[in-house]
Amino acid sequence: MPGYIRYVDDALGFSNDKDQLRDARVYSQNFLDQRRLLLHPHKNLVYPVKHGIPFLGFRVFPTHRLLLQSGVKRARQKLNALRRGYRAGDIPREKIHASVQAWLGHAQHGDTWSLRRALFRQYTFAKPGPAA
Protein backbone atom coordinates (compact mmCIF):
# COMPACT_ATOMS: atom_id res chain seq x y z
CA MET A 1 0.00 0.00 0.00
CA PRO A 2 1.69 3.24 -1.11
CA GLY A 3 0.13 5.35 1.61
CA TYR A 4 -2.31 5.37 4.48
CA ILE A 5 -3.58 7.59 7.27
CA ARG A 6 -4.71 6.18 10.60
CA TYR A 7 -6.24 7.85 13.64
CA VAL A 8 -7.42 5.60 16.50
CA ASP A 9 -9.88 3.23 14.77
CA ASP A 10 -10.25 5.19 11.51
CA ALA A 11 -7.99 4.60 8.53
CA LEU A 12 -7.61 5.59 4.90
CA GLY A 13 -5.52 3.74 2.33
CA PHE A 14 -4.21 5.30 -0.88
CA SER A 15 -3.10 3.73 -4.12
CA ASN A 16 -3.38 4.31 -7.86
CA ASP A 17 -4.21 0.62 -8.24
CA LYS A 18 -7.81 -0.42 -7.40
CA ASP A 19 -6.84 -4.08 -7.16
CA GLN A 20 -4.21 -3.22 -4.57
CA LEU A 21 -6.84 -1.34 -2.55
CA ARG A 22 -9.27 -4.25 -2.79
CA ASP A 23 -6.52 -6.65 -1.66
CA ALA A 24 -5.76 -4.35 1.28
CA ARG A 25 -9.44 -4.39 2.24
CA VAL A 26 -9.48 -8.21 2.23
CA TYR A 27 -6.25 -8.31 4.25
CA SER A 28 -7.67 -5.79 6.74
CA GLN A 29 -10.89 -7.75 7.17
CA ASN A 30 -8.97 -11.01 7.70
CA PHE A 31 -6.83 -9.26 10.33
CA LEU A 32 -9.93 -7.88 12.05
CA ASP A 33 -11.79 -11.22 11.83
CA GLN A 34 -9.10 -12.76 14.04
CA ARG A 35 -9.97 -10.14 16.65
CA ARG A 36 -13.74 -10.46 16.19
CA LEU A 37 -13.98 -6.95 14.70
CA LEU A 38 -15.65 -5.75 11.51
CA LEU A 39 -15.07 -3.09 8.90
CA HIS A 40 -17.98 -0.65 8.69
CA PRO A 41 -20.01 -1.80 5.65
CA HIS A 42 -20.90 1.73 4.46
CA LYS A 43 -17.52 3.34 5.15
CA ASN A 44 -15.41 0.65 3.55
CA LEU A 45 -15.29 1.96 -0.01
CA VAL A 46 -12.84 2.35 -2.87
CA TYR A 47 -13.22 5.55 -4.87
CA PRO A 48 -11.15 8.36 -6.41
CA VAL A 49 -9.75 10.97 -4.04
CA LYS A 50 -10.64 13.73 -6.50
CA HIS A 51 -14.18 13.54 -5.03
CA GLY A 52 -12.86 13.92 -1.51
CA ILE A 53 -12.92 11.31 1.22
CA PRO A 54 -14.91 11.87 4.43
CA PHE A 55 -12.54 11.38 7.38
CA LEU A 56 -12.66 12.68 10.97
CA GLY A 57 -15.22 15.38 10.20
CA PHE A 58 -13.48 16.58 7.04
CA ARG A 59 -13.70 15.88 3.33
CA VAL A 60 -10.07 15.15 2.43
CA PHE A 61 -8.87 16.03 -1.07
CA PRO A 62 -5.35 15.56 -2.46
CA THR A 63 -4.62 19.27 -1.97
CA HIS A 64 -6.84 20.40 0.91
CA ARG A 65 -9.37 19.50 3.63
CA LEU A 66 -12.84 20.96 4.12
CA LEU A 67 -15.14 20.57 7.11
CA LEU A 68 -18.15 18.41 6.37
CA GLN A 69 -21.35 20.41 6.02
CA SER A 70 -22.87 18.43 8.89
CA GLY A 71 -20.04 19.63 11.15
CA VAL A 72 -20.55 23.25 10.11
CA LYS A 73 -24.27 22.92 10.85
CA ARG A 74 -23.54 21.46 14.31
CA ALA A 75 -21.05 24.27 15.01
CA ARG A 76 -23.67 26.89 14.13
CA GLN A 77 -26.24 25.18 16.35
CA LYS A 78 -23.76 24.99 19.21
CA LEU A 79 -22.78 28.66 18.84
CA ASN A 80 -26.46 29.65 18.83
CA ALA A 81 -27.08 27.62 21.99
CA LEU A 82 -24.01 29.08 23.70
CA ARG A 83 -25.04 32.61 22.77
CA ARG A 84 -28.59 32.08 24.07
CA GLY A 85 -27.29 30.56 27.29
CA TYR A 86 -24.79 33.34 27.81
CA ARG A 87 -27.36 36.07 27.23
CA ALA A 88 -29.72 34.36 29.65
CA GLY A 89 -26.95 34.17 32.25
CA ASP A 90 -26.97 30.36 32.28
CA ILE A 91 -23.55 29.79 30.69
CA PRO A 92 -20.38 31.46 32.00
CA ARG A 93 -17.93 33.06 29.59
CA GLU A 94 -15.26 30.48 30.55
CA LYS A 95 -17.44 27.61 29.29
CA ILE A 96 -17.99 29.43 25.99
CA HIS A 97 -14.27 30.04 25.66
CA ALA A 98 -13.45 26.37 26.31
CA SER A 99 -16.08 25.16 23.84
CA VAL A 100 -15.00 27.58 21.11
CA GLN A 101 -11.31 26.73 21.59
CA ALA A 102 -12.06 23.01 21.32
CA TRP A 103 -13.93 23.52 18.06
CA LEU A 104 -11.19 25.79 16.70
CA GLY A 105 -8.59 23.15 17.57
CA HIS A 106 -10.46 20.74 15.30
CA ALA A 107 -11.47 23.18 12.55
CA GLN A 108 -8.00 24.63 12.04
CA HIS A 109 -6.84 21.29 10.58
CA GLY A 110 -8.84 22.11 7.47
CA ASP A 111 -9.00 25.01 5.06
CA THR A 112 -11.41 26.94 7.26
CA TRP A 113 -10.00 30.45 7.61
CA SER A 114 -12.89 32.10 5.76
CA LEU A 115 -15.46 29.96 7.57
CA ARG A 116 -14.02 30.76 10.99
CA ARG A 117 -13.85 34.47 10.19
CA ALA A 118 -17.47 34.46 8.96
CA LEU A 119 -18.75 32.53 11.99
CA PHE A 120 -17.09 34.76 14.53
CA ARG A 121 -18.27 37.88 12.78
CA GLN A 122 -21.79 36.50 12.95
CA TYR A 123 -21.77 35.17 16.52
CA THR A 124 -21.07 37.69 19.24
CA PHE A 125 -21.45 37.01 22.94
CA ALA A 126 -22.30 40.39 24.38
CA LYS A 127 -24.93 40.40 27.08
CA PRO A 128 -27.89 42.64 26.32
CA GLY A 129 -27.76 46.00 28.06
CA PRO A 130 -30.42 47.26 30.48
CA ALA A 131 -33.72 48.19 28.87
CA ALA A 132 -34.17 51.93 28.43
pLDDT band (50, 70, 90) for residue 1 = low
Whether 54 is in a domain gets the answer yes
Q: What is the pTM of this model?
A: 0.73
pLDDT at 82: 94
Q: What angle do CA 85, 99, 127 make, to 5 degrees?
A: 35
Domain coverage including residue 20: 3-66
For residues 9 and 62, state if they share a domain: yes
Residues 58 and 80 in one domain: no
Residue/partner pairs of 97-105 with CB below 8 Å, 24 or more apart: 103/75, 103/78
Residue 131 lies in a domain: no
Note the pLDDT of residue 95: 95
The reply to whether 53 falls in a domain is: yes
Work out the percent of the chain whose per-residue pLDDT is above 70.
95
Distances (CA, A) of 52 to 1, 23, 76: 19, 22, 23
CB-based contact 110:66 (threshold 8 Å): yes
pLDDT confidence of residue 130: 64
Q: What's the pLDDT tens digit per position in 13-67?
A: 888 888 999 898 899 899 999 999 988 888 888 888 888 888 899 998 888 999 9
Alpha-carbon gap, residue 71 to 73, rounded angstroms: 5
